[in-house]
Amino acid sequence: MHSMTAMDTAARPGDTEFDRGTAVTEHPAEPGVYRTELDGGWRIGGGINGGLLLATAARALSRELRSGSGHPDPYSISAYYLSASTPGPATLHTEVVRRGRSVSTGQVSLIQQRPDGTRAERLRALATYGDLDALPEDVRTSATPPELPPPDQCIGADQAPPDFLAQADLLHRLDLRLDPACVGWALGVPSGSGTIRGWLRLADGRDPDPLMLLLAADSLPPVTFDLGLFGWTPTLELTVHVRAKPAPGWLLVSHTTRNLAGGYLEEDAEVWDSTGRLVAQSRQLAAAPRP
């Protein structure tokens, strides 16, 4: 029911904030190397959003694994975050690890230069790609999407704490509607259950695709808000499984944590498309906010 709304206003692929933000161009002289420009509009906290970086890295790898192997789509991608990215130019260094018949595996590093000219690796990722359109149609998923009110009865992300919003440029690029049951933290009464969920689409109406799901998996406020912890949760590692191409329209994203201990937490995300299909699952290990 939501897909019509989104399609009515959909920005054209290639001419959207997300496509510009994750655009890569081949280096003229170095095979397998791509250039990108990290846009400060995707900033959150001390750096560029980890999901946007992952989508950019994944786009470079998609170019490499599509040509020759016919494997344009990430099935699984695991990123290890090494240092905070800054707005400005970056290069993506890809390596094809293995080309196979049904899947291929590659590696990609996102690298920037520090002001002093030294090389700073921001993230490194391994990934296995395939062709989502070539997969069989069978769906025996036992998971069911969480139930929440429709987007127009949910809470805009502008209700987040002002300290958070001040460092979350990213939120202007997203249309994020949070389940009222999960935003007690905005009123000073976090539920304590460790859940945040809501509807998500890109603010300019650009419909989701496999690369956009990588952003979706890391774009809700930290699940620790629901535990009453409002600091930042820097990601050490983020793995996303993309299981199907999403239908047009709203995504339903649910974040949970079950294991906050020893200064770290895991954060699981499930991303459902407008037909109710579970199209992506992710887990990250993040540093917990200091109490």
Provide the minimum distance between the beta carbon of 80 and a copy of itself in the complex, in angstroms, as a whole number: 5
- Distances from the Cα of 282 to the Cαs of 131, 236, 238, in angstroms? 19, 13, 7
Beta bridge partners of 210: none
Name the one range near a copy of itself by CB under 8 A: 29-37, 56-64, 152-160, 252-260.
Answer: 252-260
Q: What are the tokens at 192?
A: 């304590």
Task: Please answer whether residues 194 and 243 qualify as being in contact, where contact means their C-beta atoms are separated by less than 8 angstroms.
Answer: no
Beta bridge partners of 105: 98, 128
8 is a site residue for a copy of itself (CB under 8 A): no
136 is a site residue for a copy of itself (CB under 8 A): yes
Name the one range near a copy of itself by CB under 8 A: 35-43, 103-111, 153-161, 176-184.
Answer: 103-111
Q: What are the tokens at 283?
A: 């887990």
112 is a site residue for a copy of itself (CB under 8 A): no
C-alpha closest to that of 221 among 70, 29, 45: 45
139 is a site residue for a copy of itself (CB under 8 A): yes
| Residue in this structure with the two tokens 């095979």, named with its chain if needed | 31
- Per DSSP, helices labelled H in 25-80 are 50-66
| Residue in this structure with the two tokens 């774009």, named with its chain if needed | 219
Name the one range near a copy of itself by CB under 8 A: 84-92, 117-125, 162-170, 208-216.
Answer: 117-125
29 is a site residue for a copy of itself (CB under 8 A): no
**Interface residue list for a copy of itself (CB under 8 A):** 75-76, 78, 80, 82-83, 97-98, 103, 105, 107, 121, 124-128, 132, 135-143, 193-194, 227, 236-237, 239, 241, 243-244, 257-264, 266, 278, 281, 283, 285, 291
